[in-house]
Amino acid sequence: MVLLLLLPCMIYGASLPEPRQAVLSATNAEITSLAEQLYSADVNKANSGDVTLNLQYKATGTETSSGTDFASQKLFGYVNEAKLFARPTFSRFISLLDNYIKTTGTAEVVTSGEIAEQNAFVDEIFKTTVFSRLSSFFVSKGYYTTAESFKTDFTEMWFGLYTRTKGPLDSSGFEHIFHGEIHSGKISGFHSWVQFYLLEKSGQINYLSYSADGPWTGYPDVYGFQFKWTTYIKTLGSMFLGTSPEFDIAMFTLCYVTRPDSQCSVTIGGHTLKIQTYTWANSTYGVGKRYVASTYPVV
């Protein structure tokens, strides 16, 4: 048990990062401005024609929780895998998705190969302009002293393990949000369009309906979906669509660091969006720092 409790720090072999300064160091206007910069810098996102959707039925009210299948077709009509998934940040991201046990209550066993995949993903996204701008912002506002200290903390907050069941180390922020979990008999987390597409393609996801479609006419866009993962239901799964992995996790990290446990208001492409953040309060790392519990676009 002692070895498991030390796992997040042992995995990455780095000294613990310094505490962040007050969360209100960044103003709302500065957060909004940076969000637009990240939106403009997302060169790996899908372009028009790279992704097509079959939205079909728009559910309202009690329909969203009924689990009724209103869709005769799959959600994704087409994804340009050859173009998008060959990009390094996408390929590194996808390599992580088979590393997790989806049902909470079972300890996650992190192999040396999985550690290498995590580190490769983090290294890759930190090469992008999206993360260069996010890192510079955090350093300029005093949340971190250097880009490297941010990178160390980023790895801990997203990949550090904790328990959602008061037992084994069975979860992390990354697993919950980008892979999805089955917790208390229902789908929990699951806010990644890439994961949705891959599971739907393999026959594990049954798309039921949609209940929200953002004002964006291109990508990224924001949707709310109803779906089943095998026999488990998600009554409202919100997610960016057509975005790169680095954009998703950068936006979530921006709001998580600056506006934890609250709704963070941003704009992308001139349209307002709120991102909800939750910290994990039951265990900490470093000097009282909290892991990511959940974060997602509000629809």
Distance CA 102, CA 230 (A): 12
Distance CA 208, CA 195 (A): 16
Q: pLDDT tens digits, residue range 143-174?
A: 999 999 999 999 999 999 999 999 999 999 99
Give domain status of residue 5, yes or no. Answer: no
Give domain status of residue 17, yes or no. Answer: no
User: Is omega for the bond preceding 19 within 30 degrees of 0, making it cis?
Assistant: no
Angle, alpha carbons 207-269-124 (nearest 5°):
75
Angle, alpha carbons 243-178-298 (nearest 5°):
70
DSSP 8-state symbol, 58? B
Query: What residues are annotated to the active site?
Result: 176, 191, 234
- Angle between helix axes 147-159 and 129-140 (nearest 10 degrees) is 110
Residue 4 predicted with pLDDT over 90: no
Entry pTM: 0.91
Count of structural domains within the chain? 1
Give domain status of residue 143, yes or no. Answer: yes
* Percent of the chain scoring above 70 in pLDDT: 92
The CB density around residue 81, as the number of other CB atoms within 10 Å, is: 14
Residue 111 predicted with pLDDT over 70: yes
Residue 8 predicted with pLDDT over 60: no
**Sign of CA pseudo-dihedral 104, 108, 114, 119:** positive
Structural domain span for residue 190: 30-61+72-297
Q: Look at 241 and 68; give whichever has higher pLDDT.
A: 241
Give domain status of residue 145, yes or no. Answer: yes
Across the chain, what does the average pLDDT equal?
A: 92
**Sign of CA pseudo-dihedral 46, 56, 213, 227:** negative
Give domain status of residue 20, yes or no. Answer: no
Q: pLDDT tens digits, residue range 204-225?
A: 999 999 999 999 999 999 999 9
Residue 11 predicted with pLDDT over 50: no
- Between the alpha carbon of residue 178 and those of residues 17, 47, 190, 191, 204, the distances in Å are 24, 22, 6, 6, 16
Give domain status of residue 22, yes or no. Answer: no
Q: Which class for 268: exposed (0-12), middle (13-18), buried (19 or more C-beta within 10 A)?
A: buried
Give domain status of residue 11, yes or no. Answer: no
Give domain status of residue 151, yes or no. Answer: yes
Q: Which of 187, 184, 178, 189 is nearest to 205 (CA)?
A: 187
Q: pLDDT tens digits, residue range 81-101?
A: 999 999 999 999 999 999 999
Q: Look at 84 and 21; give whichever has higher pLDDT.
A: 84
Helix (H) or strand (E) holding 234: strand 232-241
